[in-house]
Structure 1
């Protein structure tokens, strides 16, 4: 299992702790520090579409409207903090966020 997020994100830290406490073996990928491959980013975008872009983030609010209109994959590559998180990869399955439904699935 892999968890993609930010090490400074409270939700990502809670998710990582809960998964490990539940006995899951989790590899953490910090999308800002470690980066994210184009293939993974494309796969995530193919699965979640525009939901992958966090339009409520501080980073999004700081972008000019012309930047917001750019290709979402290019934006996410340039500004990894725009990615909604965490993305949990368990085998072939991907989930986005740390909702009750995601928690019930993995805990």
Structure 2
């Protein structure tokens, strides 16, 4: 259950990070509201999860999900370059996240 909440918190991190870009410096109302709501929900879920999982593991997974998700969204929606090096390092983050998950059984 805690891992599911952690994954959801990480997905919300992706939402608020992408909403920041869409808000254009918090000058657009709806993307700004999405950003704030998703960020608060993400932090609250992370706070709940760290009561049950090691804080270092939970934070690394939360941040990693956000980083990988935003990097992929950048390539798909914002046409960021997908280079061999970017792909390699994103893959390494994913490997680290999977490793942390199986370490904390």
TM-score w.r.t. length of structure 2: 0.28
Greater percentage in helix: 2
Greater percentage in strand: 1
Q: Larger relative contact order (C-alpha < 8 A, sep ≥ 6)?
A: 1
TM-score w.r.t. length of structure 1: 0.28
- Flag the structure with larger Rg: 2
